[in-house]
Amino acid sequence: MPNPASPTASAAVPAQVLGALALELSGSAPVARDRLPQAAAGELAALVARDLGGFAPDAARLDLTTVGAHYDPIELLRPGWPLHRELDQLAARAPRDGTTPGQGRIIAFGSHEDRLPGALTPSPEYVGGPLRLVPFVLNGRPEDVAAVAELFERDLIETGMAGADTALAAQEAFGLRVEHARYLTLHDLLAMIAMQYDHAGMGPLWPVLETALLEPTGEAWLDQVPEPLVHYAGGEARIALFSPSAWQSRHAGGVAGDDPATREKLHRLHQHFEARQRQFATVLTAHGVVVNFVHCERGVDCLAALS
pLDDT over 70 at 4, yes or no? no
Q: Cα–Cα distances in Å, from 63 out to 86, 146, 160, 186?
A: 15, 14, 19, 18
- Of 174, 172, 156, the closest CA to residue 71 belongs to 174
- The pLDDT-based confidence of 246 (bands split at 50, 70, 90) is confident
- The pLDDT-based confidence of 11 (bands split at 50, 70, 90) is very low
Q: What is the pLDDT of residue 44?
A: 98
CB distance 18 to 145 below 8 Å: no
Label the pairing between strands 230-233 and 236-242. antiparallel
Percent of the chain with pLDDT over 90: 75
- The pLDDT-based confidence of 299 (bands split at 50, 70, 90) is low
Least confident of 38-42, 95-99, 141-145, 262-266: 95-99
Domain ranges within the chain, ordered by starting residue: 17-199, 204-306
What is the rounded average pLDDT of the residues 146-171?
Answer: 97
Q: 107-139, pLDDT tens digit by residue?
A: 999 999 999 999 999 999 999 899 999 999 999
Q: What is the pLDDT of residue 18?
A: 98
d(CA 52, CA 66) in angstroms, rounded, equals 12
DSSP 163: P
Q: What is the pLDDT of residue 247?
A: 85
pLDDT over 50 at 3, yes or no? no
What is the rounded average pLDDT of the residues 59-69?
Answer: 97
d(CA 102, CA 105) in angstroms, rounded, equals 10
Q: What is the pLDDT of residue 269?
A: 87
d(CA 30, CA 175) in angstroms, rounded, equals 8
SS (H, E, C) 169-205: HHHHHHCCCEEEEEEEEHHHHHHHHHHHHHHCCCHHH
What is the rounded average pLDDT of the residues 178-205?
Answer: 97
Mean of all residue pLDDT scores within the chain: 91
Helix axes 38-55, 142-159, angle to 10 degrees: 90
pLDDT over 80 at 102, yes or no? no
pLDDT over 70 at 10, yes or no? no
CB distance 18 to 9 below 8 Å: no
Q: What is the pLDDT of residue 15?
A: 86
pLDDT over 90 at 12, yes or no? no
Q: What is the pLDDT of residue 30?
A: 85
Q: 256-296, pLDDT tens digit by residue?
A: 567 788 878 888 888 999 999 999 999 999 999 999 999 98
